[in-house]
């Protein structure tokens, strides 16, 4: 039997039934009497000054209750204190096609849409910036006047002595990598319902309640307070079920404030739900990124220096930009032991929708570049890529060169697991003679763990890897070549320094225990599908030794739940988990001291287990009657059965409420001292003693984990880091360039898997999302116009081409995590893209430096390698040596002539189009 009762078991999410049966209510399912529908007018121009807005015709339309514009809420806001540059509705300027201009609240959607067409906006067009490198050279017409050269933020970090490092290197690789823009594509579009209660004294709109699909209810409450100028105490934010966030809902999205402004103006509840196109404009996805990367290594594969210059095309607003660009640098050199690192990061403004946080925030694109280059170095030095990674491991506990404290480090085990499970050696190498196998010597033993077998395994593959060009191998009968690639990644378990720069706890959880043993956990953590409510319930049940079904979680309602910073940067399990643990310990202490008197033992000898409380040593007595606990975990029906038996186990103590506890007490005294008591009895004993049974716990990261003192040191430090290694097996069709991923082996160090099925779900989801970015997903732009603002043309992988993903959980048991747990939701994503690109190289010998690896890019690279007829890609982009971002090949003409022009055509407004710096193609 495991040392735990509830954690470590595959448990169905507490909201699983609601979601799978369609009973669950998401924000757009909500409705109120008298509710109006809000629709937003968006800018058709990428960059323009608003000369005037006339809403009178729209207001006159029957059914329209209110029309609001930027003037109704002129205060700027932004998720970062240093980046308050947004208006919910534009005040003077629009900065991308889709920027928010006005909002109509009307009796129904059709009326609101009709009214939008009646709003007259006069624009003065401005030159627009689309390419980040051009934008950085701007001398005027800046996206934001207070950001010269359109640079939102730049950071220049040097750790160690990179110049010396490169001088000592035996081999230096250098290349430009380009990652195109991707977005979250969460299933649920953003939706917000805002309603005011009338103030009893003035009759004017008073308290505000907002239901919203958000990952950050408390930040939303704060920004609403700021923009609407209402105290936070008079704003209640409730997060209903959320259909996925992935970072796209981790900051305040314009509709959330717009709905409240419109509700205030209309004196009625207003709901806004974005169309999919509007979701693409709200965006906050992963910016397209240029990475100029240089890595130096010794002949044995040891990395001596790395230098990166990273440019991120951040779009029209700050958003999380400075954090993204800092993560890109902070996590660059912290996965491995790299003594010398230089990082130059530029977050650039352009006239496109704002980028923000997206799963694997900041690390994904740079990790793609680094892991690809590491593969290149391994090939050049004739080393096994897996072994090169093993030779550069950190030696924890340690502090990385940029000041990140690492306590638990499961990366070596992750590498070993994927290497073993994928038959890495056999797949990469020619068949090895039996006699060679006898001749193995283990390499470095310095990883701080015992793994003799795996080491010899790697050593073996190293010998076999001294071989010719990869493209000579594996010709398959179907004209496809197979290959395998490996890559690693890591991620934070929450930021050690909160973005609001406050010393308050990052998470707080309150518990209340009722007389019948029901436990209510009040947590501000936002369940967005990742399983945070289940995690809270599990930790509480584990600590209290009670049945999981006793625990009800009340989450993410700012009137009821204590402050939690939200669901982003993979912080919830670590931080909210620790707060849950402490809250439960708090309650447990109170129950234990009451129970100790009854059990006639010391408080320290009271044990909570199996929905019972007993004196230490009396486990056997206590365990026998509870069927829910002893069953081995794993069986699929185990989950269902344990929860149904748990319901039975929750029966009341006889007469506890009607006849009061006096009788209960008397009966117990009659029976004299006992070895054990039921959980309810113990709870009643504690309540009778203290009057109410509540507890609280909170978590703030320790000072040692908060990083260095240099400018920008605040981003990157985390109390703990997750680690991932992956092997991808692909085949490439050399005639078409199509890449098929056959299987991905993914090992993830999550500290401890509190709920293994949830961890696997998160890892598989991350790998799948990485697969999408690697092969298919790409936002295609033409002069700031998004060519594919829908899920038909923005292609997330379908089930048809999704490979088998074998997930292996590695448990490094972090000393500070709740029961040793770390993050599981994001860290795996970044390894998938380079694992696939490395596998493509292994299969056909082309090194793709532009992601995604669409078939045309792969074919163009293959053609170039073979010196065959060149495949003309748009603007002669070479995916093995990309220079700039590709643009869609059509023509964007604002002007034309002829009688057939549509009345809404912007060209009819007779506005002179200012010359755009990007003009001239086609």
The binder of other proteins chosen from 134, 275, 643, 880 (CB under 8 A): 275
Q: Can residue 438 be called a binding residue for other proteins (CB under 8 A)?
A: no
| CA gap 642, 637 in Å, rounded | 8
Of 241, 859, 862, 918, the one binding other proteins by CB under 8 A: 859
H or E stretch covering 376: helix 364-380
Who's near 336: CB < 8 A, 6+ residues apart? 303, 389, 392, 393, 394
Q: What are phi and psi of 108, to 5 degrees?
A: -150, 175
Report if residue 873 touches other proteins, rule: CB under 8 A: yes
Residue closer to other proteins, measured from CB, 4 or 894: 894
* Number of residues assigned to the chain: 922
Is the CB of 530 or the CB of 837 nearer to other proteins?
837
- Tell me the β-bridge partners of 695: 511
CA separation for the pair 483, 721 (Å, rounded) = 30
C-alpha dihedral, 751 to 752 to 755 to 759, nearest 10°: 30
906 binds other proteins (CB under 8 A): yes
Angle, helix 679-690 to helix 577-599, in steps of 10 degrees: 90
Q: Which of 593, 650, 668, 788 binds other proteins (CB under 8 A)?
A: 788
Give the residue, chosen from 81, 798, 910, 920, that forms a contact with other proteins under the rule CB under 8 A.
798
* Span interacting with other proteins, options 531-539, 646-654, 755-763, 798-806, rule CB under 8 A: 798-806
- The interface with other proteins within residues 25-84 (CB under 8 A) comprises 42, 44-45
Candidates 109-117, 338-346, 547-555, 598-606; binding stretch for other proteins (CB under 8 A): 109-117
Q: How many CB atoms lie within 10 A of CB 738?
A: 18
Indicate whether 888 belongs to the interface with other proteins (CB under 8 A): yes
Q: How many angstroms separate the first and last alpha carbons of the chain?
A: 70
Q: Looking at residue 430, what DSSP letter applies?
A: P
Quick check: 840 binds other proteins (CB under 8 A)?
A: no
Beta carbon of residue 735, minimum distance to other proteins (angstroms, whole number): 5
Listed ranges 7-15, 52-60, 74-82, 848-856: which one lies at the site for other proteins (CB under 8 A): 848-856
As a dihedral over the C-alpha atoms of residue 278, residue 284, residue 290, residue 292, rounded to 10 degrees, the angle is -170
Residue 658 near other proteins by CB under 8 A: no
Task: Provide the minimum distance between the beta carbon of 591 and other proteins in the complex, in angstroms, as a whole number.
Answer: 52
Residue with tokens 């430096």: 849
Q: How far is the CB of 760 from other proteins (least distance, A)?
A: 23
Please tell me whether residue 735 binds other proteins under the rule CB under 8 A: yes
* DSSP structure class, residue 542: H
Backbone angles phi, psi at 555, to 5 degrees: -130, 150
708 is a site residue for other proteins (CB under 8 A): no
Nearer to other proteins, 111 or 214 (CB): 111
Tokens of 163: 């110049």
Per CB under 8 A, which region of 181-189, 194-202, 618-626, 795-803 contacts other proteins? 795-803
Q: Which alpha helices (H) appear in 624-707, and where do they start and end?
A: 627-630, 636-649, 660-671, 679-690
- Tell me how far, at minimum, the Cβ of 42 lies from other proteins, in Å: 6
Burial 233-248 (b: 16+ CB within 10 A, else e): ebbbbbbbbbbbbbbb
Distances in whole angstroms, Cα of residue 38 to Cα of each of 31, 132, 229, 271, 436: 13, 34, 21, 6, 72
| Smallest separation, CB 796 to other proteins (Å) | 8
Applying CB under 8 A, the span of 182-190, 416-424, 566-574, 856-864 interacting with other proteins comes to 856-864
- Residue closer to other proteins by CB (options 520, 907) is 907
> Does 316 participate in binding other proteins (rule CB under 8 A)?
no
Beta bridge partner(s), residue 193: 211, 271
| Residue nearer to other proteins on the CB measure, 308 or 728 | 728
**The tokens of 87 are what?**
């208006």
Residue (68 or 785) nearer to other proteins, CB:
785
CB 793 within 8 A of CB 737: no
Q: Three-state SS for 155? A: strand
The three-class DSSP label of residue 343 is: strand
Nearer to other proteins (CB atom), residue 608 or residue 768: 768
State which of residues 139, 469, 872, 912 lies at the interface with other proteins (CB under 8 A): 872
C-beta closer to other proteins: residue 867 or 899: 899
Task: Give dist(CA 672, CA 681) in Å, integer.
Answer: 14
Binding track over 379-418 against other proteins, x by CB under 8 A: ----------------------------------------
Hey, which residues between 745 and 784 contact other proteins (CB under 8 A)?
A: 775-776, 780
How far is CA 692 from each of CA 53, 512, 555, 606, rounded to the nearest angstrom? 58, 8, 21, 20
CA distances in angstroms from 14 to 249, 551, 762, 802, listed in the order given: 22, 10, 16, 27
- Number of residues this chain uses to bind other proteins (CB under 8 A): 57
The CA distance from 607 to 623, in Å, is 12
Among 554, 871, 881, 914, binds other proteins (CB under 8 A): 871
Q: Please pick, from the candidates 638, 894, 914, 917, the single residue that binds other proteins as defined by CB under 8 A.
A: 894
Q: What is the sign, positive or negative, of the torsion defined by CA atoms of 17, 19, 22, 26? A: positive
Q: Which residues contact 911 (CB under 8 A, 6 or more apart)?
A: 123, 124, 125
Under the criterion CB under 8 A, does residue 107 sit at the interface with other proteins? no
Q: Does 897 bind other proteins (CB under 8 A)?
A: yes
Residue 912 binds to other proteins (criterion: CB under 8 A): no
How far apart are the C-alpha atoms of 472 and 461, rounded to whole Å?
18
Please report whether residue 785 would count as binding other proteins according to CB under 8 A: yes
* 878 is a site residue for other proteins (CB under 8 A): no
Q: Which of 438, 662, 893, 912 binds other proteins (CB under 8 A)?
A: 893
> Which structure tokens are listed for 61?
């339309």
Query: Which stretch, 259-267, 326-334, 693-701, 865-873, contacts other proteins (CB under 8 A)?
Result: 865-873
Q: Is 463 helix (H, G, I), strand (E, B) or coil?
A: helix
Task: Considering only the stretches 87-95, 189-197, 722-730, 892-900, report the one whose residues sit in contact with other proteins under the rule CB under 8 A.
Answer: 892-900
Segment lying near other proteins (by CB under 8 A), choices 183-191, 207-215, 501-509, 869-877: 869-877
Q: Closest CB to other proteins among 111 and 312?
A: 111
CB 518 within 8 A of CB 552: yes
Both structure tokens of 681: 């009895």
One of 423, 439, 905, 919 touching other proteins (CB under 8 A): 905
Phi, psi for residue 113 in degrees, rounded to 5:
-65, -40
Q: Does 604 bind other proteins (CB under 8 A)?
A: no
DSSP 8-state code for residue 854 = -
Query: 231 or 898: whose CB is closer to other proteins?
Result: 898
Instruction: Between 867 and 898, name the residue whose CB sits nearer to other proteins.
Output: 898
Binding region for other proteins (CB under 8 A) out of 69-77, 498-506, 528-536, 730-738? 730-738
- Find the shortest distance in angstroms from Cβ 316 to other proteins: 15
Distance of closest approach, residue 774 Cβ to other proteins, in angstroms? 12
Phi, psi of 205 (to 5 degrees): -55, 125
In the complex, the smallest distance separating the C-beta of residue 890 from other proteins, rounded to whole angstroms, is 4
Report if residue 300 touches other proteins, rule: CB under 8 A.
Answer: no
In the complex, the smallest distance separating the C-beta of residue 291 from other proteins, rounded to whole angstroms, is: 24
For residues 771 and 730, what is the distance between their CA atoms, to the nearest angstrom?
12
Evaluate whether 404 touches 716 at the Cβ level (below 8 Å): yes
Question: Chain centroid to CA 460: how far?
Answer: 37
Q: Which stretches of the chain bind other proteins, using CB under 8 A?
A: 42, 44-45, 97, 109-110, 113, 275, 277, 735-737, 775-776, 780, 785, 787-789, 792-793, 795-801, 854-856, 859-860, 871-874, 888-902, 904-907, 922
């Amino acid at each position: 039997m495991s040392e735990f009762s509830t954690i470590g078991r595959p448990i169905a999410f507490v909201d699983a039934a609601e979601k799978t049966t369609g009973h669950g209510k998401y924000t757009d399912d909500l409705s109120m009497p008298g509710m109006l529908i809000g629709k937003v007018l968006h800018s058709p121009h990428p960059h323009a000054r608003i000369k005037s807005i006339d809403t009178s015709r729209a207001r006159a339309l029957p059914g329209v209750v209110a029309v609001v514009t930027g003037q109704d809420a002129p205060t700027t806001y932004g998720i970062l204190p240093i980046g308050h540059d947004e208006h919910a509705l534009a005040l003077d300027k629009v900065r991308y096609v889709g920027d928010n201009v006005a909002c109509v609240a009307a009796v129904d959607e059709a009326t609101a849409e009709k009214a939008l067409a009646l709003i007259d906006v006069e624009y003065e067009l401005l030159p627009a910036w689309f390419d980040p490198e051009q934008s950085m050279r701007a001398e005027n017409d800046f996206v934001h006047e207070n950001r010269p050269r359109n640079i939102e933020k730049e950071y220049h970090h040097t750790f160690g002595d990179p110049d010396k490092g490169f001088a000592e290197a035996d081999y230096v690789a250098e290349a430009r990598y380009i990652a195109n823009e991707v977005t979250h594509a969460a299933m649920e579009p953003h939706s917000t319902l805002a309603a005011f209660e009338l103030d009893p004294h003035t009759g004017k709109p008073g308290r505000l309640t907002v239901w919203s699909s958000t990952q950050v209810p408390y930040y939303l409450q704060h920004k609403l307070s700021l923009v609407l100028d209402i105290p936070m105490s008079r704003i209640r934010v409730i997060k209903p079920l959320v259909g996925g966030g992935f970072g796209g809902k981790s900051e305040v999205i314009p509709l959330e404030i717009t709905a409240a402004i419109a509700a205030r103006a209309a004196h009625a509840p207003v709901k806004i739900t974005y169309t999919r196109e509007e979701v693409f404009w709200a965006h906050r996805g992963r910016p397209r990124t240029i990475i100029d990367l240089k890595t130096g290594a010794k002949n044995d594969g040891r990395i001596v220096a790395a230098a990166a210059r990273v440019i991120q095309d951040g779009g029209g607003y700050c958003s999380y930009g400075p954090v993204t660009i800092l993560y890109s640098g902070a996590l660059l050199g912290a996965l491995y032991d790299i003594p010398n690192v230089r990082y130059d990061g530029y977050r650039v403004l352009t006239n496109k929708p704002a980028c923000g946080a997206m799963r694997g925030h900041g690390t994904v694109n740079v990790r793609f570049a680094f892991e690809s280059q590491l593969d290149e170095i391994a090939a050049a030095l004739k080393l096994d890529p897996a072994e090169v990674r093993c030779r550069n491991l950190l030696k924890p506990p340690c502090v990385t060169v940029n000041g990140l404290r690492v306590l638990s480090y499961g990366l070596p085990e992750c590498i070993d697991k994927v290497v073993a499970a994928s038959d890495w050696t056999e797949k990469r190498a020619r068949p090895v003679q039996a006699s060679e196998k006898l001749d193995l010597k283990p390499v470095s033993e310095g990883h701080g763990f015992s793994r003799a077998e795996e080491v010899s395994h790697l050593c073996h593959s190293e010998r076999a890897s001294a071989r010719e060009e990869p493209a000579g191998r594996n010709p398959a009968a179907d004209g496809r070549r197979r290959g395998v690639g490996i890559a690693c990644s890591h991620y934070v378990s929450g930021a050690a320094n909160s973005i609001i720069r406050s010393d308050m706890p990052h998470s707080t959880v309150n518990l209340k225990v009722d007389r019948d043993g029901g436990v209510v956990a009040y947590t501000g953590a936002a369940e967005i599908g990742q399983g945070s409510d289940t995690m809270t319930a599990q930790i509480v049940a584990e600590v209290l030794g009670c049945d999981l079904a006793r625990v009800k979680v009340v989450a993410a309602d700012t009137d009821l739940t204590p402050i939690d910073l939200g669901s982003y940067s993979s912080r919830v399990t670590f931080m909210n988990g620790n707060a849950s643990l402490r809250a439960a310990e708090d309650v447990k202490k109170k129950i234990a001291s009451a129970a100790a008197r009854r059990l006639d033992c010391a408080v320290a000898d009271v044990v909570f287990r199996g929905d019972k409380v007993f004196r230490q040593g009396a486990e056997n007595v206590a365990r026998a009657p509870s069927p829910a606990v002893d069953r081995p975990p794993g069986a699929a029906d185990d989950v269902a059965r344990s929860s149904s038996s748990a319901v039975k186990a929750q029966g009341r103590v006889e007469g506890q409420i009607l006849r009061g506890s006096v009788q209960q007490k008397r009966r117990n005294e009659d029976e004299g001292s006992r070895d054990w008591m039921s959980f309810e009895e113990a709870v009643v004993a504690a309540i009778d003693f203290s009057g109410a049974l509540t507890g609280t716990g909170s978590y703030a990261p320790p000072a040692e984990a908060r990083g260095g003192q240099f400018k920008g040191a605040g981003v990157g430090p985390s109390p703990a880091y997750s680690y991932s290694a992956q092997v991808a097996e692909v085949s490439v069709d050399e005639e078409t360039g199509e890449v098929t991923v056959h299987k991905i082996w993914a090992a993830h160090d999550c500290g401890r898997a509190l709920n293994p099925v949830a961890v696997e779900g998160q890892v598989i989801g991350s790998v799948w999302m990485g697969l999408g970015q690697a092969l298919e997903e790409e936002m295609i732009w033409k002069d700031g116009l998004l060519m594919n603002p829908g899920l038909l043309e923005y292609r997330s992988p379908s089930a048809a081409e999704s490979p088998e993903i074998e997930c292996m959980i590695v448990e490094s048991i972090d000393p500070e995590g709740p029961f040793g747990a770390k993050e599981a939701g994001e860290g795996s994503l970044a390894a998938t893209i380079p694992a696939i690109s490395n596998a493509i190289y292994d299969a056909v010998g082309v090194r793709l430096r532009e992601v995604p690896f669409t078939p045309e890019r792969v074919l163009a690279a293959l053609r170039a390698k073979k010196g065959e007829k060149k495949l003309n890609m748009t603007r002669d982009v070479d995916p093995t040596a990309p220079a700039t971002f590709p643009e869609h090949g059509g023509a964007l003409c604002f002007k034309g002539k002829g009688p057939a022009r549509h009345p809404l055509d912007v060209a009819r407004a007779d506005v002179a189009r200012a010359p755009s710096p990007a003009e001239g193609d086609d």
